[in-house]
Amino acid sequence: MINTIDQKEIEQFSALSNKWWDKSGPFSALHKMSRARIEFILRNSKRVSSKNNSEGNILKGLKCLDIGCGGGILSEPLCRLGAKVTGIDASDMAIKSATLHSQKSRLQIDFKCMDTAALIKSENLNLNNQFDIVIASEVIEHVNNRDLFLSDISKLSKPGGLVVLTTINQSVLGVLLGKFFAEDVLSILPKGTHDPKKFISPNQLIEEAAKHKIILDDKTGFIPTFKMHNLINKEFGEFKLSRNIQVNYGLAGINIK
């Protein structure tokens, strides 16, 4: 069966699975991006959420799929905001870590060790069990077949559902900072985390998603702040939303199928 999984990358992330919730460990950048990612998701969630929801429970009643959820770094805040969250990942070790941490946090999140194709097959999708929000954050640069992956996202999303993607730009700065600076200079990310050949520009990703009826019409950049102690400790500061999309960026839009 054709799937989108890069087994080598899954094995690499599985080897680090006991460190998903170490905020100064190999996934520290994801932790520091979390607040900005949630901010971007929430600004677009108004398209599908009820106007009656309170600010602290803005995702109440929405079915949310976190693809490539890893240890649940993004799944947990989504759940706290009221969403009914399903998190999937091809790494069994990551799912075990996510499940254990969510239980300790007393959060009810449905974590499954599977890829998008397996989820589609298991759910026997119809309008009643497709997702209101589908998120693939820092995932698309790790898949083998991007076209198939986007097709799967379209199938998993409801008509009129929200799709949110975040990844690294295929620009010169994206490769230099997102790959070599982060992995080889600051050692913020483990070496071999990214393959620049899998990076994609925002415009190309918008075009590819549109082929699957996903219209990505909101764009943002994610840029880290750096203070002196961050540089000394070889770490990023917190990320914030920006118009600068040259390195990390996010796209969001509606599935119009």
Architecture of the domain defined by 7-255: 3-Layer(aba) Sandwich (3.40)
Q: Where are the alpha helices (DSSP H) in 139-201?
A: 146-156, 172-175
Q: How far is CA 114 from CA 10, 65, 131, 148, in A?
A: 12, 12, 16, 15
pLDDT at 214: 98
pLDDT of residue 13 exceeding 60, the answer is: no
Q: What's the CA angle centered on 141, arms 226 and 152, to 5 degrees?
A: 135
Secondary structure class of 255 (helix, strand, coil): strand
Tokens 């509606």 belong to which residue?
254
Gap between the Cα atoms of 151 and 128, Å rounded:
19
pLDDT at 147: 97
Strands 131-137 and 157-168: parallel
pLDDT of residue 126 exceeding 80, the answer is: no
Q: What is the mean pLDDT of residues 48-53?
A: 81
pTM for the whole thing?
Answer: 0.89
According to DSSP, the residues that pair with 131 across neighbouring strands are: 157
pLDDT at 194: 72
- pLDDT grade, residue 1 (50/70/90)? very low
Q: Where are the alpha helices (DSSP H) in the chain?
A: 7-15, 28-45, 75-80, 92-104, 116-123, 146-156, 172-175, 202-210, 228-232
pLDDT at 6: 59
